[in-house]
Amino acid sequence: MILSRALLKRHTVLPGFDLALGFALLYLSLIVLVPLSAAFLKTFTLSWSEFVAAVSTPRVMASYRLTFGASFLAALLNAFFGLIVAWVLVRYTFPAKRLIDALVDLPFALPTAVAGIALTAIYAQNGWIGRWLPFKVSFTPLGVWVALVFIGLPFVVRTLQPVLEDVSRELEEAAATLGASRWQTFMKVIFPILLPALMTGFALAFARALGEYGSVIFIAGNMPMISEITPLLIITKLEQYDYAGATAIAVVMLVAAFMLLLTINVLQAWSRRRQGGL
Amino acid sequence: MSSVAAALHALPATAPRPGVELSTVRGATTEPVWVQRALIGAAFAFMTLFLFVPLATVFFEAFKKGVDVYLAAITDPDALSAIRLTLIATVISVPLNLVFGVSVAWAITKFDFRGKNVLLTLIDLPFSVSPVIAGLIYVLIFGLQGWFGEWLRAHDLKIIFAVPGIVLATVFVTFPFIARELIPLMQAQGIEQEEAARVLGASGWQIFWRVTLPNIKWALLYGVILCNARAMGEFGAVSVVSGHIRGETNTMPLHIEIVYNEYQFAAAFAVASLLAALALVTLVLKYVVEQRVKRQKRSTGDRAE
């Protein structure tokens, strides 16, 4: 009764608001909010200078460079090929299209550890693909990038597909009637419609890659300063019972993740507006 | 050619003049055949390098040393206990998130209240948190140096490096799945049917079981499938809280890691192949249910118009 009186904006005949919202809030708090706030509270046991020192040692800085850099480049490749895959799946017909469409979600469904050992085996120097390459992939930063491409693959495809399906053919016909080439139509008519969704997909893939652990640690080789990702560094600190140090790095990653979440929300709102306006 | 025909079919206004051969006419809204082929080829190449080959590798490596080695690997006592623990964690975490998903979706989609958007954002929060951090936060609370560490030790209870910790971490990482599938569908369905049932004298539970649940059952199943797949496959979060005690606190993905690090590659891939098979089953179920949800959304849309 208290919840409904305090929060409801208008009268309703439907029952269950207090029970449903009450349970949801309790569960959300116990599972997510209180534990997450524990991370922030723990860092208060450090002074500001201790915190800065913990999150900016050369080894930690090297791990940020690798994690953010590889995640960015992986999301970039996914944006490019994700656009092609989504385009091909929506616009063309070809054999086994449905199968391929369904398999796009494989990185969501395949456990990260399984993906990790499979990618390591393929891209090792005697692996199916690795033996044909003139450079090493497994156990180098390049391997980190390969794993992050794998896990980010579905995001761009899946955010673009519905938008691409909704692009009205009349706009393209109008462009063609007015003398635009197909390339001009794509660049000036279709691409601007897709851009917000493309950026959303990019941001989602980037955010996922930042926190990824399971698929990366098998293929990375995990050499400090070279191929050690930030989530692994958190675990290493934890295993040395340096809880405060581990948490400080975790808080840096959490803040980055929350800022990305905010960006994604803004991008999604933009995407909806752009679609709604057409 | 079929794509050209399809494009023309979609555009009756640009039908070819009599006498012009079909194959020489290209719709104004499609690309030359060589561009289409190149794009399809690029998509295939990308998917092959990053998806198909890894998937095939899992099964190839698993059976490389023969069926005997495969069977020995998955019937190993440690492997069996890992499978059991994975099932326990899943059987607890999926129903918990199911109840949460339904109740939060009910509150959000059937009522108009202050703070709704904040709540919507908070539901998605676990997706943006690294699995490693998901494990870490429970260590900070229930670990030996944690908030309740002293108390738990005094009462001889163990959460971290034990099964409850693994369940908690699994619940956290699978938290949003079911709510996320339900909310958009229930929003589209509106509240008219429930209101009608209420006016006709149905109680809250009657409304839920007889009106709402039949409307959302496919989306609910879809959410459960996704939640289940992630619960069984979670690695990072579980790894932090498990303690890696063989035969006791190892889930399937953790068992794979241990066996792999001992250079028993065939055994690691054997257990991995079970999870890969589960992933494929998930994709098939997901596809089937997705078609149902799409159909339902379409009919909901029709009704709204």
pLDDT in tens, A183-223: 888 998 899 989 999 999 999 999 999 999 999 999 998 88
Query: Which residues in chain B have Cβ-Cβ distances shorter than 8 Å to A13?
Result: 195, 198-199
Q: Which residues of A touch B171 (CB under 8 A)?
A: 31
ipTM of the complex: 0.89
In angstroms, the separation between the Cα of residue B246 and the nearest Cα of chain A is 17
Q: Which candidate in B86, B137, B141, B189 is best for mutational testing of the A interface (most A CBs within 10 A)?
A: B137
Q: Is there a contact between A31 and B172 if contact means CB atoms under 8 Å apart?
A: yes
pLDDT at position B1? 37
- Residue from A42, A114, A153 whose CB has the most chain B CBs within 10 Å, to mutate: A114
Which of B31, B104, B240 is closest, CB to CB, to A235?
B240
Dihedral class, residue B143 (left if φ above 0, else alpha if ψ from -120 to 50, else beta): beta
Q: Give the integer Cα–Cα distance in Å for B229 and B226.
A: 5
Q: Quick one: pLDDT at residue A274?
A: 76
For B267, nearest residue in chain A (alpha carbons):
A117
Distance from chain centroid for Cα A39? 22
Contact residues on chain A for B200, CB-CB shorter than 8 A: none
DSSP A196: H
- B198 at A interface, C-beta within 8 A: yes
**Cα–Cα distance, A255 to A40 (Å, whole number):** 10
Q: How far is CA B287 from CA A91, A102, B180, B280, in A?
A: 20, 7, 17, 11
Report residue B156: phi and psi, to 5°: 60, 40
Phi and psi for B70 in degrees, rounded to 5? -60, -50
Which is nearest to B175 in space by CA: B117, B260, B237?
A: B237
Would you state the pLDDT for residue B304? 47
Cα–Cα distance between B127 and A265 in angstroms, integer? 13
C-alpha distance from residue A217 to each of A4, A60, A228, B44, B165 (Å): 48, 16, 8, 27, 22
CB-CB neighbors (< 8 A) of A112 in chain B: 233, 235-236, 253
* Chain B CA closest to residue A118: B54
Asked if A255 reaches chain B (Cβ–Cβ under 8 Å), the answer is no
Q: Return per-residue pLDDT of chain A as tens, 278 residues.
A: 577 777 887 778 888 889 999 999 999 999 999 999 988 998 888 899 999 998 999 999 999 999 999 999 999 999 999 999 999 999 999 988 988 999 999 999 999 999 999 999 999 988 888 888 888 888 889 999 999 999 999 999 999 999 999 888 888 888 888 988 888 889 988 999 899 999 999 999 999 999 999 999 999 988 888 899 999 999 999 888 888 899 999 999 999 999 998 888 888 888 888 776 55
- Whether B51 and A103 lie within 8 Å, measured CB to CB: yes
Contact B132 A176 (CB under 8 A): no
- In angstroms, the CA B76 to CA B35 distance is 52
Q: Is A250 within 8 Å of B133 when comparing Cβ atoms?
A: yes
Model pLDDT, residue B2: 43
Q: Considering the entire predicted model, what is its pTM?
A: 0.88
Our CA dihedral for B183, B187, B189, B190, rounded to 10 degrees, sits at 130
CB contacts under 8 A, A 190-209 vs B, are 207
Helix, strand or coil, per DSSP, at residue A157: helix
Contact, A157 vs A104, CB < 8 A? yes
Nearest CA in chain A to B191: A14
d(CA A13, CA B195) in angstroms, rounded, equals 7
Provide the pLDDT for residue A6. Answer: 77
Measured in angstroms, the CA of A230 and the nearest CA of chain B are apart by 10
A interface test, pick of B51, B175, B193, B226 with most A CB neighbours within 10 Å: B51
The reported pLDDT for the residue numbered B17 is 45
- List the pLDDT tens digit at each of the 305 positions of chain B: 344 444 444 444 444 444 444 444 566 678 888 999 999 999 999 999 899 999 999 999 999 989 999 999 999 999 999 999 999 999 999 999 999 999 999 999 999 998 888 899 899 899 889 999 999 999 999 988 888 888 888 888 888 888 999 999 999 999 999 999 999 889 888 899 999 999 999 988 999 999 999 999 998 998 999 999 999 999 999 999 987 777 788 999 999 999 999 999 999 999 999 999 999 999 999 888 888 877 877 776 555 44
For chain B, say whether A213 makes contact (Cβ under 8 Å): yes
CA-to-CA distance for B153 and A35, rounded, in angstroms? 19
Contact B11 A173 (CB under 8 A): yes
Q: Please state the three-class secondary structure of chain B as a single string.
A: CHHHHHHHHHCHHHCCCCCCCHHHCCCCCCCCHHHHHHHHHHHHHHHHHHHHHHHHHHHHHHHCCCHHHHHHHHHCHHHHHHHHHHHHHHHHHHHHHHHHHHHHHHHHHHCCECCHHHHHHHHHHHHHCCHHHHHHHHHHHHCCCCCCHHHHHHCCCCCCCCHHHHHHHHHHHCCCHHHHHHHHHHHHHCCHHHHHHHHCCCCHHHHHHHHHHHHHHHHHHHHHHHHHHHHHHCCHHHHHHHCCCCCCCCCHHHHHHHHHHCCCHHHHHHHHHHHHHHHHHHHHHHHHHHHHHHHHHHHHHHHHC
Which pLDDT value is given to residue A270?
84
Stretch (H or E) spanning A138: none
Q: Which two tokens stand for residue A242?
A: 């340096």
Size of interface A-B (CB pairs under 8 A): 297
The 10 Å Cβ neighbour count of residue B275 is 23
Please report, as a single letter, which amino acid is at residue B117. Answer: N
Touching B: A residues 65-94, CB under 8 Å: 81, 84-85, 87-89, 91-94
DSSP character at residue A132 = G
**What pLDDT score does B4 carry?**
44
Touching check for B137 and chain A: CB below 8 Å? yes
Chain B from 7 to 46: CB within 8 A of any A CB:
10-11, 13-14, 28-32, 35-36, 39-40, 42-44, 46
Residues in A closer than 8 angstroms to B113, CB to CB, are 7-9, 17, 21
